[in-house]
A and B are shown apart, each in its own frame.
Chain A
Amino acid sequence: MIYRFTCIVCPLGCSIEVEVEDGKVKEVKGCRCPRGKEWAVQEVTSPRRVVMSVVPVEGGALPTVSVKTAEPVPKEKIPELMKFLAKLKLKAPVKVGETVAEWEGIKIVATRGA
């Protein structure tokens, strides 16, 4: 199986090809740097993303505070995380950078104050 994508590590945007056989990376072609290669391998073996959303807050200036995960989470787990976030409710005061919840060991951090 060959995966083709555009590298996003830097603005160069190399066209990368990753060949995978029996769940193992055989060859990585097209990238011009080691960081791109590392990213490409991660992208085919276990892609991760930082996830952001908003959760309702009571007593703040705005009805929501924005949050993000403190680290990238496995892509296939994102829908589950979103369900967890949909149930959260916070009360003001909330500070920027405060951990407002934790999900499977991953911290959920407020990115706006309330």
Chain B
Amino acid sequence: MFPEIPMLSYDVVVVGGGPAGMAAAIRAKELGLKVLLLDENDYLGGILPQCIHPGFGLHYYREELTGPEFASRLAKRLVELGVEYRTAARVLEIKNYSDLEKVVIFTSPSGAYQVWAKAVIYAAGARERHAFEIGIVGDRVSGIYTAGEAQTLMDLYGIMPGKEIVIVGSGDVGLIMARRFALEGAKVKAVVELMPYPGGLARNVMILKDFNIPLYLSHKVVEVRGKGRVERVKVVRVDENLNEIPGSEFWIEADTLIISAGLVPSVKKLKKIGVEIDPATGGPVVNDRLETSVPGIFVAGNSLLINDLVDYVAEQGELAAEGAKEFIENGGIESRKWVKVEKGENVRLIAPHYLSGDRDVYLYLRVSKPMEDVELRIPEIGKRMKLPVVKPAEMLRIKLKAEEIRKAERLTVEVVKA
């Protein structure tokens, strides 16, 4: 602790003011906890204020909203309830002194602060994978952006990042960016996708047809050339093992390269205090209250695992707040025994990892490969659910009842041909 830095005191500190953090702070306040929400941006909402397309809130609000609309509903509720929050407040460090003694250190325009808290809800979102991470080499030029950077420029600041665009990645984010560029009059010359199938939802893949944008499946961008600014990018075809096919390369002229190659949970500060990370989700290993391996540290939203629906993100925020309440009241999260959740066939990732059987839970999972007419099975308890289609891009959410969970020592979730 730093004696010269002012000390505040709360029951719970929420790190991050995106949908996960706002939903967590709202629920914590409703449950009677003294809560402080911190976000490093100048505004609340996380990445939502820049996601101006519709497609948010169908489950949570039973209405189709745009990202900023979804964010402003949560922000309004937050303000109505009188939740204390600070923007332009960047969390530098979390310290774990003991189960009920955490200190969160943050800086803000009015100086640095440390906050004493009994529990912390970590909802700092995710970071985008960048060009180097996906092996693109070449000149150090301007005009290379991640999708989120380009979206921020265009949809918060009204600045077009370029005129002739190549997009790497056909997930929903890449496809939605393709539409934004095309609508604003840029020429999208290609969307390049490594896998043999598009990564996004069918309704977003349709965007490419709407604007006659070519999609190169089983292709990758490997090199960028230009003097000062991007001038051309090199594309190569890959075989079924994702190996480059010699002689198949070609160049596309463009002034801008957009990298939309997926998100990674942002968990650096958690790793530092010894939180166990699941290599499959990239986020922490959690129990069914979304508590990490460090007691009293909870996690929600894209810091837990990459979500495609904001509705689930908000739901996780609420759950983490309920966990924090229980933790503070009982001096810990109790369970007689934890039932471990295991990945079976065609399950790439799954969370939560440990279930108490004291309550109903939602399992969030993703498959490794697309399949049709399948069954999700949990053999230990004889559970079977028919699913017409599964795709890696779409997160599945499965409800398990407390009494089902209690029937077994462990649960293996598999997605197999029906």
A54 pairs with B158, CB closer than 8 A: yes
B68 pairs with A13, CB closer than 8 A: no
Assess whether B42 is interfacial by the CB under 8 Å rule.
yes
A66 pairs with B202, CB closer than 8 A: no
B69 pairs with A96, CB closer than 8 A: yes
Q: A54-B52, A68-B52, A75-B210 are in contact. Are A96 and B68 (CB under 8 A)?
A: yes
- Cα(A7)–Cα(B205), bound, Å: 11
B residues near A7, Cβ cutoff 8 Å:
202
- Cα(A37)–Cα(B350), bound, Å: 35
A residues near B412, Cβ cutoff 8 Å:
none
Contact segment of A21-29, A57-65, A100-108: A57-65
Give the number of chain B interface residues (Cβ < 8 Å): 29
B residues near A64, Cβ cutoff 8 Å:
155-158
B54 pairs with A63, CB closer than 8 A: no
Nearest CB of chain B from residue A4's CB, rounded to whole Å: 11
Q: Which of A6, A61, A63, A112 contacts B202 (CB 8 A)?
A: A6
Assess whether B394 is interfacial by the CB under 8 Å rule.
yes
Interface centre among A56, A62, A111 (most CB of B within 10 A): A111
- Cα(A11)–Cα(B202), bound, Å: 8
B residues near A2, Cβ cutoff 8 Å:
none
A residues near B185, Cβ cutoff 8 Å:
82
Assess whether B79 is interfacial by the CB under 8 Å rule.
no
Assess whether A5 is interfacial by the CB under 8 Å rule.
yes
A52 pairs with B54, CB closer than 8 A: yes
A residues near B284, Cβ cutoff 8 Å:
none
In this complex, the interface size class of chain A, counting residues with CB under 8 Å from chain B, is 20 to 34
Nearest CB of chain B from residue A33's CB, rounded to whole Å: 12
A residues near B69, Cβ cutoff 8 Å:
96-97, 111-112
Assess whether B72 is interfacial by the CB under 8 Å rule.
yes
A residues near B203, Cβ cutoff 8 Å:
8
Assess whether B53 is interfacial by the CB under 8 Å rule.
yes
Nearest CB of chain B from residue A97's CB, rounded to whole Å: 8
A residues near B154, Cβ cutoff 8 Å:
54
A56: nearest chain-B partner, CB-CB: B158
Q: A6-B206, A52-B54, A75-B210 are in contact. Are A111 and B66 (CB under 8 A)?
A: yes
Interface residues, chain B, with chain A CB atoms under 8 Å away: 42-43, 49, 52-54, 65-66, 68-69, 72, 154-158, 183-185, 201-203, 205-206, 209-210, 388-389, 394
Interface residues, chain A, with chain B CB atoms under 8 Å away: 5-8, 11-13, 49-54, 56, 61-64, 66, 68, 75, 78, 82, 96-97, 111-113
What 5 pairs between A and B have smallest CB-CB spacing?
Answer: A8-B203, A66-B52, A112-B68, A6-B202, A64-B158
